[in-house]
Amino acid sequence: MIASYVGANHRDWDKHLHELRHAMNTAVQSSTRVSPAFLNYGRHPRPVKSLRREVETPAVEYWEIDETVWLDRISRLDAIRDLVKLHLDKAHARQARHYNRGRKDVRFTEGDLVMRRTHHLSVGADGFNKKLGERYEGPVKVLKVLSPSVYVVETPNDRRVAKVDVNDLKRYIQPRKTDTQIACTEFILMSSDSESDE
């Protein structure tokens, strides 16, 4: 946000901090539906320059606010905060609904076989492109459950044991043999049996 107030000279950014602070305090938040200043004080603050102009005007000897206005504002703060709490609950439910859309609650136990997501880097010298590489490696065994979202798994190639987030794991499914593979296996078994009989 501060980039909006900085020109070509990036050394004078601190001269605009009061404007930045005012902009942040008066911006209406999408979740609370009120500005931070309104939530704290029950009113919208005046722009800094106009307030300075009012205070520095020689005709103004002191700055005074009507007591009834002040008491009314304080009494409304509790109602405003209750309303903001309702807005936050609705925003939380809406954000959770969007976040959980399409997500599945996956749990593993010790001894399960899983596939672990790989995080390759492209290496031009070796002619390796990460987009064309294997996305998962395994199967590897779950050694320990640290939490519903963190697991300790063994790693291939005798590397060190790693802690892995559940989002980087998927359940290993044993590949099924096709009819052709089954027929080939049966043919090999029959051939070996006939050779042993001879």
For the stretch 7-61, pLDDT in tens is 677 777 777 787 788 888 888 888 888 899 888 888 788 776 666 666 666 554 5
Higher pLDDT, 192 or 94: 94
Percent of the chain with pLDDT over 90: 7
Tokens standing for residue 188: 């090999």
**Distances in whole angstroms, Cα of residue 31 to Cα of each of 35, 66, 85, 112, 120:** 10, 32, 10, 41, 38
What pLDDT is recorded for position 17? 80
Question: Does residue 33 sit in helix, strand or coil?
Answer: coil
Model confidence over 67-109: pLDDT tens digits? Answer: 787 777 778 888 888 899 999 999 999 998 888 887 777 888 8
* Burial environment of residue 16 by CB neighbours within 10 A (0 to 12, 13 to 18, 19 or more): middle
Model confidence over 133-154: pLDDT tens digits? Answer: 778 887 888 888 998 889 998 8
What pLDDT is recorded for position 92? 93
Architecture of domain 112-171: Roll (2.30)
The answer to whether residue 189 scores a pLDDT higher than 70 is no
Q: Where are the domains of the chain?
A: 13-58+67-96, 112-171
d(CA 114, CA 131): 22
The whole-model pTM stands at 0.47
What pLDDT is recorded for position 85? 93
CB atoms within 10 A of CB 38: 20
